[in-house]
Amino acid sequence: MTQDFQGRTAVVTGGTGGIGSAVVRRLVLAGCKVVSVSLNAEEAAASLAAESGAECLNLDVRDRKVVMDALAPADPDFLVLAHGALGRTGTLFDQPEDSVHRLLDVNVLGVQNCLQAVIPGMIARNDGHVVMIGSVAVYPSLGQPVYSATKAAVHSMARNLRMELFPHRVRVTEVRPGRVASGMHAEMFEGGLAEAKKRLYDPVHCLTPDEIAEAIVWALEKPAHLCVAELEILATEHVIGGVRYHGL
């Protein structure tokens, strides 16, 4: 028997773009009250609120006090952590300091801030579900080494959180998508989204934000005794791994 979303509350970070907005729309349609959290996206937030009826908060997940003040009173049943940052393509040894700090602050500390605001309420109710968006970038990859490191941190945090929450009935799901045509990759190139489409989206089959959102809602609706702990989603044409040899 699946869970009923009627009367339930969800907080979705990164809620005005890509995977986050797709999750917001699906949860609202399912009857959930949704609080969408995003940064500097007033126009997108207004559009999303008008379209879906979700409450939209302009909030920086890096600011612990702001996060605590805004999210703790919301006391959500579901927390979907879909915010994230990328950086310019490069190597581990040539990253600008400000870029490294931004990636760590958004992708790791921002996650921890949200957990600190929301988890105590879930423990008190002995009920709740956290979805953490990781990435297949946890595997070694070229071009985004610091981003990969932050997603490896999210992977570790998700597993650790499940241990910490035992024996409470608070579930934790880590979702690791392959390449998603969400627009997020615009950060990687001087040419922005147009260059990202040219290099990363158009040549291959990419996943869509709505496909990932569908999987997230599928995990959320499972009965309380069942936890989808990890979910890795790839395009059929996307394979991870391989061996590299110099000269071959």
Residues designated as active site? 147
How far is Cα 17 from Cα 178, in angstroms, rounded to an integer? 17
**In angstroms, what is the C-alpha Rg of the chain?**
18
12: phi > 0 → left, psi -120 to 50 → alpha, else beta; which? beta
Is residue 15 within 8 Å of 44, Cβ to Cβ?
no
Place of tokens 């879930």: 122
Q: Give the Å distances, CA to CA, from 1 to 27, 60, 136, 221.
A: 18, 37, 31, 9
Is residue 174 within 8 Å of 158, Cβ to Cβ?
yes
How far is Cα 197 from Cα 195, in angstroms, rounded to an integer? 5
Q: Is 221 exposed, middle or buried (0-12, 13-18, 19+ CB in 10 A)?
A: middle
DSSP conformation class of 2: P
Measured between its terminal Cα atoms, the distance across the chain in Å is 53
Peptide bond into 167 cis (omega under 30): yes
Instruction: Say how many C-beta atoms besides its own lie within 10 A of residue 125's C-beta.
Output: 13
